[in-house]
Structure 1
């Protein structure tokens, strides 16, 4: 542009100079022509002189114009052009002297303003790029740390990765990381150490007055400058719970600046989440190992079945069952079940029931098996033994009682002492015979051979007979016995078994009632189609914790044992068996020191109910 302007100015000056020179040359030429014609020579000389002087003056003026243009226009423009080329080359520090005429000065000033603005923008851009690069490095650090932390599951491994990442980010020389112990949330355990011997760091940390302890307590970073060593303690917090602390150390370098602390705190937040997951994962693994150890130590097969019937979780005993009998249905139906499962030569008591989580959603089906093969065999042998012994005892006992009756029939020939002794023998022989009968009855029930001879039975008469038969015993014990009945019709029952049922209840009531007490036998209709028989006493009562066992074979309450009440614990077992064989129900209500009531509900005959 400057060269074009100079060229144009030169051409313009040349044209002006040529025009002036042409004018003065024309004047000189005219003067010579006049002189040649001899006309007014003096005038011609003057004209010629004027032309020469004018030509010289025009040349000088032209030179002055050229000098002026060069100094105030051309040179400033050339400087601006040169500076613009340098600016275009990237030198933003170039400036132009503001000299020359008004327009060149204005142009130079504008150029300098432009260069200054460009330089300022470049500096701001460099600052922004520097900040952007730093942010990029932070993001890359966060990303790399996040990827490494996400890949770690073990708590110690994650702690080592986290400590390494923050040491790199902080430019630390050494550090340590403490995390909560899953079994004891009150203290922190050293999980990782780098750049320092772990033995030089405390094994356990608790909230205290130490820098790391203050970081745990305040949930804020604690910086310590020890002159030759700087420390930064970062709390690892999830929600409001401190789950760890990280300590970073620098040797011989300046303290950690606040800008670094902000970055490190952000990284610490990321570490806290991963550390919390790792602590939970370790706790879950430990709980799983404990559960597995407990399950495998359990001799009974235990398993959890999924919706497809396959084992989801199991112990070693269940795995062995599954191996021996692949595909066997150990889960049973859909509800809760308690039954016996036969697998080959062995028998298992089975409990199966649905398992639900805390929201009520079904997780599967729990199955617990218990090998009862040996118990079954033992029960079988015991029942056979009872049956055999009872049978072998019953025959001689019957003979003894028969001969006693013959002897007692001739009591005139016997002394009083002999009669008394024989009565004791007869009473105990009959008691032993009843015991043998009870044992035979239980053996028949266990063997499934209990048979009933059902007839239309007047239950009121059975109760009356039983009360009358027990009255002598009650009088000897000083116990009142009372019968309260209403007309209810007949039941469909076995007379001997129903009589045995009532005799056992009355006998028990008398045994547990002290002298001066009372036993009440009552009967009334219940609901129109059933009859209620209740036998109550005001005796010693039975402890609440023992009442659920009263109908088990050979069970005797602590009160019976402590007061030497006679019996072997079969009476209520026989009563319950007879009641259930007659499609009835039995219940018991007792309170220590107050007494006991046993209630039996039996169905009436259909004709009577109609």
Structure 2
């Protein structure tokens, strides 16, 4: 039993004793003379006992309130809601029970709020994760992509869109699409999508990028609906069709020029054949010249067809490649001889500078075709009274070098790498250079992909060009010696 409870019992016992004494005095046990004294004594005793009991009850109530306050302060400091623990015999036990009931309701509400907050946190985390995944997917797309909100304001873009329209993600915040994109057709497509149209809208359009290059795009504007009334977001995707359109244009030009390249030698062959059929109009020397012209035109036609076929074979991986010891000087003489008549007709000085014998390991037919392509281009693009020089010599580090130089029109710097692309032909003013645009593409593949060499270009507009072939692994033996070793 606690000290407080013991004091409580003592006071109650004292109160009972005083009350009994008062009753004893009032009943006259002490005699008639002592009756007034006994009454006042009893009254005083009862009053004193009552006062003591009141003081005790006040102290006990104060102590109970202090305990409750301490517990409530602890709950407040720990941001937790618990129960107030006091003795049921204390005067404030009823108050404590009411407070505990109220605290229990608060705790239930806090637990419910905590549960909802955790659910909300999980939902927010899931939404953020989904948003991050969506952003990662959009940023990884190689086509320009713009995501707009319901008001037409950009909320997400990838690097390709930012590069195309010339803005950064930071600059796009808080701005409208009109502030960032100056392409009226795109703005019109977005406006149409925002009007409530359910289906994606597609259109082909041209856009000039910040570098000043015109590019063709397949634009798709897709509205995203959550409800049926208005789009929640709009996704703009631009698929770059520039390369496809350029290839389509080049192929069309290729067909036209193939037709021209075929028609020209065929027309010459037919014309001189008709002259030969009329025996009365020509002398023996004239007929010999006509035969040579027909032979040259037929060879030209054959080279043209071989260029097309060989380029296709190399790209398909079915090109036969048989490297053998080859007398490079002999092959160069043959190539120069084949082009000599065409050079004389154009009043061009075509010369060869090479050692008497220079042996390399190569496929003779393909090597001859590569050299013929370079020499033929040099003659074609060199004006009358110009010159074309073919040089060959061994250099250090096991490399044999072939130079084909001319004093022709030259090639502009911006075209010097592209001349090796299929179908590409240089432009001079508004004129496109003649030819099919396949010769140099084939020559590079023959030299680099098949022979493991290198083809380079040096050119100055209006002064001339120099194409250089570097072939690896020259053979130190002569052709006859190499073939003898192969048969042993």
Return the TM-score normalized by structure 1: 0.33
State the structure with bigger RCO (CA 8 A, min sep 6), 1 or 2. Answer: 2
Return the TM-score normalized by structure 2: 0.41
